[in-house]
Amino acid sequence: MRRRQLGRTLRAMRERLSLTQEEAAAQTQGRISSAKLSRIENAKNAAAAADVEALLDLYGVKDEDLRGDLIRLTREGAQRGWWQSYRSVLSPVYQDFISLEAEASTIRTWQVASIPGLLQTPQYAHAAITSTAMSEAISDRVQALVEVRLARQSVLTRHQPLRLRAIIGEAALRTRLADATIMFDQLSRLLHFATLPNVDIQVLPSTAPLTVGQTGSFSIFGFGDLVELGVVHLEQLTSALYVEDLEQVSVYADAHVALTAAALSVEQSLDLIIQARDQK
C-alpha cells in the first residue's frame, strides 16, 4: 500500500507537467528507464530512495516536508506491518485496509448502524464479527480477528496519533444484544475514547431528516498534505471497494461534511450516548 501511495503521487506530479513516462525517463539521463518508471508508478517494484529523489528534482518539488514524506514512504515500502503475523487469518483486502489505516493521519467515518472498529470493546467486536461471519472459515478465526481489531486501535494512542472523526447512526447505540452488559460497556468505551483530543464522536439521531448517509457507511483515509493519496473505503459483506479517484473522494468528503452538520454536536452526542447507556 505504501508503494501504491508513492506511485500514485509520482504519477500525478508527472501528469501535472504533461510529461509522458518516456519523456520523464529521458530527462533522467538514463538513470530511470520508462519501464522502471512504469513499475514504480504502478507499485510493481519497490523504488530506491535515490530514484525518487531524482524524480522529485525533475518534477521541481521543493517542499521539504513533502519530499520527506515521500522518501519515508519509499524507505518503509518494504517493511513488514504487525498485521502480517496474522496473514493466515486475514484476507488480502483486509490487510490493505489495515495498511491504509496504519499510514493514515486522519480518518473520517460514517457508520449507519454499528460502532466503528477503532472504538469497539473486545466483547462487542466478538459479537459484531460473529454476526457477519457467513462461512465456517470466518467462524473458525473469530478470536484472531478480534485480536486484530483491538490491535488496530493503537493508531489512536501512538506517538503521532490518528485523527478520527466518527459519525455514528443512533441505531448503533440502541443495538440489543443477548448480554446487555456488552452494550453498556461499549457505550462507556465510546465515552472514554471521546476524552482523547484526537477523537471526535457525533451521533446522527434517528429523528434527523433523510441525509446522504442513507446510501451506506464509508470511511475516508487522509494522508496529510498528500491530498492525492486520499482513499475511500466501502465495506461490503464479502468484499470491499476502494475509491481513489480524486473527484470521487471529494464527493465523499462533501458527504461527510453534510453528515457532520446534520448530526448532533459533540457535546449533545455524548449526552445521548450516556442516556442510551443508562437505559441498558
Residue 229's pLDDT band, with cuts at 50, 70 and 90, is confident
pLDDT tens column, 164-221: 999 999 999 999 999 999 999 999 999 999 999 999 999 999 999 999 999 999 999 9
Going by pLDDT thresholds of 50, 70 and 90, the confidence category of residue 95 is: confident
* Counts for the chain of helices (H) and strands (E), in that order: 13, 6
Q: For residues 210 and 154, give the distance between their C-alpha atoms in angstroms, rounded to a whole number.
A: 34
DSSP symbol at 105: S
pLDDT band at 1 (very low <50, low <70, confident <90, very high): low
Tell me the domains of the chain and their CATH numbers.
Answer: 2-76 (1.10.260.40), 82-278 (3.30.870)
pLDDT for the residue numbered 79:
66
Using a pLDDT cut of 90, give the percent of the chain over it: 68
Contact 168, 107 (CB under 8 A): no
3-state secondary structure of 161: coil
**Residue 134 clears pLDDT 80, i.e. is over it:** no
CA distance 223 to 238: 27
89-97: average pLDDT:
86
Tell me what pLDDT residue 23 has.
94
- The whole-number pLDDT of residue 132 equals 83
Work out the average pLDDT over 16-31: 93
CA atoms of 264 and 245, how far apart (whole Å):
30
Mean pLDDT is lowest, of 14-28, 36-50, 76-90, 180-194, for 76-90
Q: Average pLDDT for residues 213-240, to the nearest whole number?
A: 88
Q: What is the pTM (predicted TM-score) of this model?
A: 0.80
The C-alpha cell that represents 55 in the structure block? 524524480
pLDDT on residue 87: 85
Note the pLDDT of residue 8: 86
**Amino acid 275: pLDDT:** 96
Number of neighbours of residue 13 by Cβ within 10 angstroms: 20
If you average pLDDT over every residue of the chain, what do you get?
Answer: 91
Around 102, how many Cα atoms within 13 Å sit in the side-chain half-sphere?
A: 21
Distance between CA atoms of residues 160 and 32, nearest Å: 35
Identify the pLDDT of residue 92.
83
Q: Give me the DSSP letters along 32-74.
A: S-HHHHHHHHTTSSPPPHHHHHHHHHHTT---HHHHHHHHHHH
